[in-house]
Amino acid sequence: MQKSNAVQDFVLQQMTAPARLALEARAGWEMGALLAAQPVLAMAPKGDGHPVMVLPLMFGGDLSTGPLRAFLDARGYHAQPWDLGLNLGPRDGVFASCLERLSALSDRHGRKVSLVGWSLGGLYARALAKAAPGQVRCVITLGTPIGGFPKPGDLWRMAEMATGTKMGMPASLGPVEEPPPVPLTSIYSRSDGIVHWRCSVVTAAPRTENVEVESSHLGLGVNPLALYAIADRLALPEDDWRPFERSGVKAWLYRDPGRRGWL
């Protein structure tokens, strides 16, 4: 039965892929929505000043995460870029550089660092939290592929064959699907045109959750609903994590991620 359902999901995924990809044109509109939503976002929970490192999506750099970091700065955080140029995949040495930057930020501020990773950046964030859990406060991912087909490991192997450059996260960190030992929030959209939403769903655990928003993949870093959810999660006390609350108006804006149905 499970195999049959998996096949049906894969067929539906392939059939709707062109329509979902076309919806990526929303990204420009979402930037406009970010500007229009400034009065509402100004009411988002404020932070306690701890550092937040933001890791970009594939082929993106610090310019792509600029609006998100500006929002977090305005909420009272020390939002930091990853400072490694364009994200061209987990090439040899890149993860080590990320780990060094995480350690430097934690030492400089004398506090744990929250990690926000967009798409591929979320895989870095999860891996960093596994490698250095004592320096990470929480992990928030945006449209990050952790399962499905092809799996990230398969993509790294194909990239290695095509470029001759070693790719991948350290094998010592375990399977990509295994969550880090810190609070984890996966924010995703069921109409994501690049990463199928089922690939971003994390398994329920005491400090693991899924938050669904309506967004394109390329717009997740500027989507007002995603930004509000990020601020809400980051504002939680370090030792008092609790799931995202969807009561009241938020129940209309953030759909139940556990509901049945393909969309």
Residue 117 sits in a domain whose CATH number is: 3.40.50.1820
Q: State the pLDDT at residue 4.
A: 46
Low-confidence ranges of the chain (pLDDT < 70): 1-23, 25, 148-156, 158-159, 162-163, 262-263
User: Is residue 10 a part of any domain in this protein?
Assistant: no
Query: For residues 85 and 178, what is the distance between their CA atoms, to the nearest angstrom?
Result: 28
Amino acid 31: pLDDT? 80
This prediction has a pTM of 0.89
In-domain check, residue 217: yes
- Residue 12 forms part of a structural domain: no
Q: What is the domain count for the chain?
A: 1
In a domain, 130, yes or no: yes
Q: What is the pLDDT of residue 92?
A: 82
What pLDDT score does 2 carry? 39
Task: Give the range of the structural domain holding residue 156, as residue numbers without chain letter.
Answer: 19-237+246-253
8 located within any domain: no
SS (H, E, C) 84-118: CCCCCCCECCHHHHHHHHHHHHHHHHCCCEEEEEE
